[in-house]
Amino acid sequence: MTRVAIIGNSHVGALREAESAIKFAFPTLEITYFALARHRFNNAQYGEDGFFRADIPDEAERKSVIEINGMTEIDLRDYTHILVVGQGFLFNGLYTLIAQYNILGLTDTGKAQSISKALLRDTMLLRIRGFGNRIARKFHNDPRFVIAQKPFPCLQPDATTDHAATAAHPDAAQIADLLRTTIADQMARHPVGFLPAPDDLLSGPLHTKPEFSRAAMLPADQPPSPSDFTHVNARYGFELFKIFANQWLGLVPVTSPQTEKV
Amino acid sequence: MTARSPYQNLPPQAFWRSAIVEQSEAALDHLFVPKFALTHETALMTAGSCFAQHMHRALSGAGWNVLQAEPMTDIVPRKLAEKYSYGIYSARYGNLYTARQFRQLIQEALGDTPLNLLVWQRDGRYFDALRPSVEPDGYDTAHDVKRARMEHITAVRALLQQAECIIFTLGLTECWEDAATGLALPTAPGTIAGDYDETSVIFRNFTYPEVLADLEIARDTLRAHGLSTKIMLTVSPVPLTATATGTHIGTATTYSKSVLRAVCGHLVQTDADFDYFPSYEIITTPVVGGPFFAPNLRQPSPTGVDVVIGLFAAAFMDDAPAAFPQENNEVGDEDDVQCEEILLEAFRQ
């Protein structure tokens, strides 16, 4: 059996929900899931002893972590690969920048103040490079780790977020290209692997297809919250894992995902 | 009968021994006696030569109301924002080394007719010749330069309308003018962008009457638009990096600084709208324990900047920090100022 750990923040949920489908499609794999709240995950340490652990002083939170994971730390020494999901690469700040300023050289969005494309590019580079350096260091530049980009939010009706403004930018495709190449270039500098948000799962430059949102899976009588559009469902989780398994483990699913309910 | 002398009953600040050698505190109190009041609430605009960046940073950091007409979100790291000339002055005009540039900017911002757009090129990129350093790699197109300049001038107009006092640091008398338009340039073409062609630019070394006239016209322009802004002048203590006069850099520096300082002296004595803060004297002479230069003997040391700001604050505030030199690690890397003149040195190599 090949042992794979899937660790990360709340975005682990989509893969966890796809657990049975993944198990069915990749029977040679033994998979462990380990999720922490985003702030805890960001502060958690991968120690020299091979354990990934967070300092959780609050007893109630510790109980909650144990309830989710069955443990508060994970021993990663014996895993062939560790897929680290839900990593945002500081995109939110970039969305804010794009939402606040007109970008010279792109279509005018009517903002009072403009910035140059060069400044946008440099800011993007600095933030993404910084994030990439930190996460590679966090996992000791160990090539067993594969860092998966957080999914782009799904289209949410009447959203007023900076992401929504960026996705609605007339040149969103150009912005998305810049993000894509910057993140790929920067992560290629590290021994850790990198799994981008898959193009096939996108409906537009910066949106994940609506059928992959958590909102799409809710019962008709349950109104979705904003996080149901920023988080994806088990179908996305399965698709993401499938790409990971193919690229890093050389595996293809033994059955089509359509034949296994996820 | 004892002989009488006009120096007989003068206060300590009038004598080198008591004021400088003995560093009398009573004398120090008279180094700068403001003509007009400033408080932490006074809306300040900063502009000028490289040294003005120190003034801007220190005053902003000390809680003075330093205006920012072209703000940059803190999503952009500070060093990067500064590389693009955000937050180094009250707007993105870059360094205004000469009184002519200062006058020109005010006239453009408050005038009805925009100046001719001067665009320089380098490696297929486009630069605003009146502030070529604000976009280190230039813009994609000349149209972008135009759009950025229009926004900038709109921002400067709003800034001038809001400012109660402009702190302007004079740096140079030497200047290159565009031959076709007569516009004063911050740097010679070919330094940051553009190509040097001796028929397209004219070298000027402004005289005392010219500098005086530029500052008075700048002030008159403000008044003509109903603005009662005061102007606090300083002279940059930073020597010239290079001179195009054909003379020795030492004498060229003395000429520049002398003319600028003399103009300040005249305006302080004769014109209620102008005052002068002696940062030049504080950094370059022993008046407050200096001179305060970094090891390159050109840039002011961090201690010197602290003393300048301390004395500035002390002149206006009852609870100002001590003006005398404090312990300082003298590491200037984090707070390097942007100065096109440094490029001249690079070109010399």
In CATH, what number is assigned to the domain containing residue A216?
3.40.50
Total Cβ atoms within 10 A of residue B135: 27
Contacts of B71 in chain A (CB under 8 A): 113
3-state secondary structure of B131: coil
Is the pLDDT score of A8 beyond 70?
yes
Q: From residue A49, give the alpha-carbon distance in Å to each of A32, A52, A78.
A: 19, 9, 12
Q: From residue B59, give the alpha-carbon distance in Å to each of A31, A41, A241.
A: 58, 40, 54
CB contact under 8 A, A104 and B73: no
The B residues from 70 to 109 touching A (CB cutoff 8 Å) are 70-73, 75-77, 80, 83-84
**B255: its two tokens:** 């000429």
CB contact under 8 A, A122 and B70: no
How many distinct structural domains can be found in chain A? 1
A258 touches chain B (CB under 8 A): no
Contacts of B139 in chain A (CB under 8 A): 104-105, 116, 118
Helix (H) or strand (E) holding B252: helix B249-270
User: Which residue in this structure is represented by tokens 């006092």?
Assistant: B165
**Alpha-carbon distance A175 to nearest alpha carbon in chain B (angstroms):** 16
Per-residue pLDDT of chain B (349 residues; tens, 9 = 90+): 567 888 888 888 888 888 888 887 777 888 999 999 999 999 999 999 999 999 999 999 989 999 999 999 999 999 999 999 999 999 999 999 999 999 999 999 999 887 789 999 999 999 999 999 999 999 999 999 999 999 999 999 999 999 999 999 999 999 999 999 999 999 999 888 888 888 999 999 999 999 999 999 999 999 999 999 999 999 999 999 999 999 999 999 999 999 999 999 999 999 999 999 999 999 999 999 999 999 988 889 999 999 998 899 889 874 444 444 444 433 333 345 666 654 455 455 4
Q: What does the domain layout of chain B look like in residue ranges?
A: 42-348
Least confident of A49-63, A77-91, A113-127, B266-280: A49-63
CB contact under 8 A, B140 and A123: no
**A153: its two tokens:** 């939010």
CB contact under 8 A, A114 and B147: yes
CB contact under 8 A, B139 and A105: yes
Note down the domain range covering A47.
2-259
pTM of the model: 0.88
CB contact under 8 A, A94 and B75: yes
* DSSP code of residue A180: H
> What is the secondary structure of A70-128 as a DSSP string?
SSSEEE-TT-SEEEEEEE-TTHHHHHHHHHHSEETTS-----SSEE-HHHHHHHHHHHH
Q: How far apart are CA B307 and CA B304, in angstroms?
A: 5
Closest C-alpha among B213, B225, B218 to residue B112 = B225
pLDDT tens for each residue of A64-73: 999 999 899 9
Q: Collect all residues with Cβ–Cβ distance below 8 Å to B206 and sequence separation of at least 6.
A: B98, B99, B100, B173, B174, B175, B214, B259
CB contact under 8 A, B70 and A113: yes
Q: How far apart are CA A203 and CA A79, in angstroms?
A: 34
Tell me if ipTM is over 0.95: no
Instruction: Return phi, psi of residue B32, to 5°.
Output: -140, 115
Best of A113, A124, A162 to substitute, by most chain B Cβ atoms within 10 angstroms, is A113
Question: Is-cis flag, bond preceding A224, omega within 30?
Answer: no
**B247: its two tokens:** 């003379």
Contacts of A115 in chain B (CB under 8 A): 72, 84
Start-to-end CA span in chain A (Å): 23
